[in-house]
C-alpha cells in the first residue's frame, strides 16, 4: 500500500496487514526496498597453502563482506568466484557477524562441525549448488535450533570438496543430529555427514552420522 507524505512530497511504502516487510509490491516506485535477514552474515576467504600452522593460520583469513539483507546476499553471491573455481586449498566461510571462523572463537570453542568430503571428479557440477543451498539454509534460518548454528565452510582440496556446518555446542546429541539432518535435506547432500567436535582430540567410538 502506498501512502502520500505531504511534507516531503514522497510516496512512502507501508506494509499491509498481510505483509511483514515492505517489498516492491508495496512500493512500485522505489525499487530500493530490501528484505532484512534475521542475522547479519560475514563472508571470509582464506588460502593458507598446503603447509598450515595453527599458530599462524589466522593471518591468512580475509574478511570479505557482511550482508544484512536478502538482496545484498545475492549481490555478493553473484559477484564472487564460484566455489568450483577457487584455487586448491581455498576456503569460503560464511559465519554470523561477530563469530570468527576459527575454533578459538568463544562461540565455536565448545562446538563442532558436521562435514562431508565430496570427491572432486564426481561433484564438480554440483558443488556450487550444494554450497549455495547450505548458505541459504543458514541465512534463511532453516534450522529448528537456529541459535546453535555458527556458520558454514566450503573447502576446496586437490581430491575433494568439503562442506561443513559449525555448531555452537557439541554435547546434546538430539540437537546436533537435528541440525545434521536439516543440513543434509536442505542442501540435498547425498552421502554420509559426520559430526566432529572441535575440542575432542579422540574421535567418538561411534561417530554421529546422518
Ligand atoms: P582444515 O582446512 O580444517 O583441514 O585445517 P584439512 O583441509 O583437512 O587440512 P589438514 O591439513 O588438517 O589435513 C588445516 C589446517 O589449518 C589445520 O591443521 C590448522 O593448522 C589450520 N586451521 C584450520 N582451522 C579451521 C583453524 C582454526 O580454526 N584455528 C587454528 N588455529 N588453525 C586452524
pLDDT digits (tens, 9 = 90+) for 96-107: 999 999 999 999
Q: How high is the pLDDT of residue 143? A: 97
Q: Residue holding cell 536442505?
A: 186
User: 36-197: which CATH number, 3.40.50.720, 3.30.760.10, 3.40.1410.10, 2.60.40.10?
Assistant: 3.30.760.10
pLDDT above 70 (res 165): yes
Supply 8's cell numbers: 516531503
The rounded Å distance from CA 205 to ligand 1 centre is: 23
Whole-number Å distance between alpha carbons of 108 and 124: 29
pLDDT at 1: 40
Whether pLDDT at 190 is above 50: yes
The Å distance, Cα 87 to ligand 1 centre, comes to 16
* pLDDT on residue 8: 44
DSSP assignment of 124-185 equals TTTHHHHHHHHHHHHHTT--TTGGGEEEEEEEE-SSEEEEEEEES--S-HHHHHHHHHHHHH
Tell me which of 44, 51, 52 to substitute to probe ligand 1's pocket, judged by most ligand atoms within 8 Å of the beta carbon: 52
Q: How far is the CA of 51 from the centre of ligand 1 (A)?
A: 10
How far away, in angstroms, is 151 Cα from ligand 1 center?
16
Ligand 1: which of 57, 120, 150 to mutate, most ligand atoms within 8 Å of CB? 57
User: Ligand 1: which of 54, 61, 99, 117 to mutate, judged by most atoms within 8 Å of the beta carbon?
Assistant: 54
Give the whole-angstrom CA distance, residue 175 versus residue 114: 12
Task: Give me ligand 1 centre to Cα 179, in Å.
Answer: 23
Residues contacting residue 207 through CB under 8 Å, at least 6 positions apart = 194, 195, 196
User: For 13-68, how does the pLDDT look when each residue is reduced to its tens digit (9 = 90+)?
Assistant: 555 666 555 666 677 776 677 889 999 999 999 998 877 788 889 999 999 999 99
Q: What is the pLDDT of residue 55?
A: 87
The helix/strand/coil state of 75 is helix
Average pLDDT over residues 178-182: 98
Rounded to the nearest angstrom, the distance between the alpha carbon of 49 and the centre of ligand 1 is 11
Give the residue with greater pLDDT, 204 vs 1. 204
- Pick the residue whose CA is nearest to atom 16 on ligand 1: 52
Give CA 145 to chain center in angstroms. 15
Instruction: Specify the pLDDT at position 35.
Output: 86
Cβ–Cβ < 8 Å for 107, 168: yes
Percent with pLDDT over 90 in the chain: 72
134's grid cell: 547450505
pLDDT tens digit string along 99-146?
A: 999 999 999 999 999 999 999 988 888 999 999 999 999 999 999 999
Task: Give residue limits of the domains in the chain.
Answer: 1-34, 36-197
What is the three-class DSSP state of 85? helix
Q: Which residues sit with their C-beta closer than 6 Å to ligand 1?
A: 48, 52-54, 57, 102-104, 155, 157
Query: CA quadruple 40, 83, 167, 61: dihedral positive or negative?
Result: negative
Amino acid at each position: 500500500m502506498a501512502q502520500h507524505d505531504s511534507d516531503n512530497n514522497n510516496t512512502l511504502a507501508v506494509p499491509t496487514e498481510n505483509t511483514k516487510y515492505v517489498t516492491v509490491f508495496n512500493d512500485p516506485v522505489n525499487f530500493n526496498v530490501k528484505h532484512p535477514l534475521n542475522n547479519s552474515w560475514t563472508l571470509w576467504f582464506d588460502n593458507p597453502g598446503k603447509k598450515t600452522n595453527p599458530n599462524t593460520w589466522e593471518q591468512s583469513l580475509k574478511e570479505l563482506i557482511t550482508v544484512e539483507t536478502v538482496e545484498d546476499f545475492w549481490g555478493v553471491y553473484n559477484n564472487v568466484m564460484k566455489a568450483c573455481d577457487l584455487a586448491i586449498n581455498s576456503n569460503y566461510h560464511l559465519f554470523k557477524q561477530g563469530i570468527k571462523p576459527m575454533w578459538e572463537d568463544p562461540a565455536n570453542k565448545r562446538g563442532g562441525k558436521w562435514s562431508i568430503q565430496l570427491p572432486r571428479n564426481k561433484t564438480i557440477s554440483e558443488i556450487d549448488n550444494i554450497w549455495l543451498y547450505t548458505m541459504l539454509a543458514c541465512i534463511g534460518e532453516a534450522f529448528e535450533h537456529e541459535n546453535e548454528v555458527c556458520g558454514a565452510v566450503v573447502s576446496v582440496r586437490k581430491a575433494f570438496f568439503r562442506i561443513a556446518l559449525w555448531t555452537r555446542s557439541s554435547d546434546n546429541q538430539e540437537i546436533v543430529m537435528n541440525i545434521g539432518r536439516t543440513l543434509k535435506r536442505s542442501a540435498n547432500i547425498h552421502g554420509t555427514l559426520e559430526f566432529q567436535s572441535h575440542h575432542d582430540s579422540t574421535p567418538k567410538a561411534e561417530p554421529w552420522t546422518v
